[in-house]
Amino acid sequence: MEKVFVGIGSNLGDAQSQVESAISHINKISELEVIRSASLYESKPFGPIEQGNFVNTVVEIACSLEPVELLKTLKEIERTMGRAQGVRWGPREIDLDILLFGSREFSSNDLNLPHPGITHRAFVLVPLAELEPELMLADGLTIGKAISRLEQGLVWPLQRAATINL
């Protein structure tokens, strides 16, 4: 089983329920086991599209799938939960992104590992730091140093992870 971190976000409908439901969907896949979840955070949207704030978290999972298989599985969960293809960085019912897949590096048209946007996205770094405060990122930055380089006030906590039913 590989240690994998998955970023989860939503800003349509009941975003908090969507995120919690996504965690439940992930945990129902026999090749995946949610080990722990960071708190839920509200964040300003990333990108040029005017839209509402997101609810985000990061989960650590144990995974027996290969990276491309995991990506397909997460995309199927997104479809099941009603995600429609929309504008890049636009509003969405649910978004599931593989952030880190153990220490693997991988690149294809559909998947890059580690996720190339980690160091630029507070909504990923803050919950990831909650789970792995000593994490060293692929570019040599500590997670704390990466967070300190970002604009402040982009992410704020909603609730503790203990209230999320795994």
Single out the catalytic residue among 14, 36, 79, 97.
97
Per-residue tokens: 70? 């995991």
Mapped onto helix, strand or coil, the DSSP state of residue 17 is: helix
Active-site position among 88, 92, 104, 160: 92
Q: Which two tokens stand for residue 123?
A: 């909504």
Q: Active-site residue among 36, 79, 88, 95? A: 95
Buried b (16+ CB within 10 A) or exposed e, 133-155: eebebeeebebeebbeebeeebb
Q: Is 83 a catalytic residue?
A: yes
Q: Is 97 a catalytic residue?
A: yes
Bridge partners, 32 (sequence order): 63
Asked if 95 is an active-site residue, the reply is yes
Catalytic site residue from 36, 83, 104, 121: 83
Which residues are annotated as catalytic? 83, 92, 95, 97
